[in-house]
Amino acid sequence: MNNYLTENKDRFLSELMDLLRMPSVSADPKFKDDVLRTAEFLREKLVAAGADNVEVCPTAGYPIVYGEKMIDPALPTVLVYGHYDVQPADPYELWTSPPFEPVIKNEKIYARGACDDKGQMYMHVKAFEMMMKENKLACNVKFMIEGEEEVGSENLATFVQHNKEKLKADVILISDTGIIGNDTPSITSGLRGLSYLEVEVTGPNRDLHSGLYGGAVANPINILCKMIASLHDENNHITIPGFYDNVDELSGEERAEMAKAPFDLEKYKKALDLGDIHGEAGYSTLERTSIRPTLDVNGIWGGYTGEGAKTVIASKAFAKISMRLVPHQTSEEITEKFQKHFEAIAPVSVKVLVKPHHGGEPVVTPTNSVAYQAASRAYETTFGKKPIPVRSGGSIPIVAMFKSVLGTDTVMMGFGLDSDAIHSPNESYGLFNYYKGIETIPYFYQYFAEMSKA
């Protein structure tokens, strides 16, 4: 670590803790004021770090925080993207410490958003401050931090459309992904897309006594289960007609290359306490979570869920269902195919409503670009090891959107770990990873400037 980082690490940490105390849950309207406070907090920090033209840009939803430092038009420009909103924290009862009261245990910060994405996004703010204070900023930089990533970045596309000039850059830099391990650096070279829908199945027009009506009317919960069950066949292939039509099948060489990434199945099962893994026949666990599309129910509810027993046939049953997409599926295509199929398989004894939530497109980023190479060297400098390119199963829909609207490629310099439990109770982020990120980012700026010149 350099001097400035060493001297300021405690403040860097306490500022992050302040940021994590704000419950900026974009999915739940009751946190609206907290989300807005969080944007204001970032505005102040960017100003303090030395950014110019810092503003909280209004959108139809939550605002986008923008700031920049243009030092020399001759130098390349880096557009940093991140998000200050977080996933809902429930189920709260499974947290060992309150999700919005960050604590440090065994060298990790525990809080909702610690890794996704406040911890990783804030590394860039602090790395920027450091480069400014040490007069080492090697590129122009622009910040665009949004507050709706966890709900599908609904208003970001419009903002980008209307600010193409302002957002002009040579590369987009994002830390919202992970590395294989603290001793095994990696760079995400691909992401899955997403299609997210909510379904509602209606049976009788009111809740019914299961004794008087049981056996004669369609129980919407039983029917919903049948419909969901039918979406996977015995090989866990997805049965939606045409679902795999556009899936990019990898070559044997590519799959062999992937298989080289270190992976310990027994450790994996043990860490999740699984009797066995469960997935699509014919593919490895790494393939199932990266190059193959999936369908998961993210939530289901209906009928009586309170204490004790209630002999009722519910009028309605609901489920939230999402699909992860791979090149070259598109979320619009898959959402449409799901909707058509789900309506088609519904028996006449029920009514079905399918409500698309949001989607995102899959991406694969080139590993031979100057930006990727600069990032690779940066990791190598601070980790002492060349990072492995990895295709991740997660989705950052805006990466594809940036490419199509701005024509700009993205480099995903993530520093999180699978064990950070993002989207889960007890989300955490390692102090090692937080500081390592702040240390690594400036090298990217340095190498990217050098290599762009060459």
Q: Does 327 bind its own copies (CB under 8 A)?
A: no
Reply yes or no: is the peptide bond before residue 98 cis, omega within 30 of 0. no
Between 71 and 94, CB nearer to its own copies: 94
Q: Does 421 bind its own copies (CB under 8 A)?
A: yes
Q: Does 98 bind its own copies (CB under 8 A)?
A: no
Q: Give me the catalytic one of 85, 116, 129, 148.
A: 85
Backbone φ and ψ for 178, nearest 5 degrees, come out as -135, 180
Between 53 and 182, CB nearer to its own copies: 182
Q: Which helix (H) or strand (E) holds 66?
A: strand 64-69
Instruction: Provide, rounded to whole angstroms, the least separation between the CB of residue 122 and its own copies.
Output: 20
**Please, which of residues 18-47 interact with its own copies by CB under 8 A?**
26-29
The answer to whether 253 is a known catalytic residue is: no
Q: Does 395 bind its own copies (CB under 8 A)?
A: yes
Residues 6+ away with beta carbon under 8 Å from 374: 411, 444, 447, 448, 450, 451
Between 73 and 275, CB nearer to its own copies: 275
**Residue of the chain from 226, 254, 332, 385 that contacts its own copies (CB under 8 A):** 226
| Three-class DSSP category at 43 | helix
Within 92-250, residue ranges assigned H as helices are: 118-133, 156-162, 210-213, 220-229
Residues 6+ away with beta carbon under 8 Å from 414: 120, 174, 175, 176, 177, 178, 179, 187, 188
Q: Give me the catalytic one of 15, 129, 149, 150.
A: 149
Instruction: Provide, rounded to whole angstroms, the least separation between the CB of residue 424 and its own copies.
Output: 4
Residues 6+ away with beta carbon under 8 Å from 273: none
Bridge-based pairing of strands 186-191 and 388-391 is parallel
Bridge-based pairing of strands 193-202 and 351-360 is antiparallel
**Residue of the chain from 190, 302, 414, 430 that contacts its own copies (CB under 8 A):** 302
The answer to whether 34 is a known catalytic residue is: no
Instruction: Provide, rounded to whole angstroms, the least separation between the CB of residue 306 and its own copies.
Output: 6
Between 68 and 427, CB nearer to its own copies: 427
Between 78 and 231, CB nearer to its own copies: 231
Binding mask 262-291 for its own copies (x = CB under 8 A): ----------xxxxxxxxx----x--xx--
Return d(Cα 440, Cα 374) in angstroms, integer. Answer: 11
Return d(Cα 149, Cα 146) in angstroms, integer. Answer: 7
**Residue of the chain from 299, 344, 404, 450 that contacts its own copies (CB under 8 A):** 299
Active-site residues: which are they? 85, 149
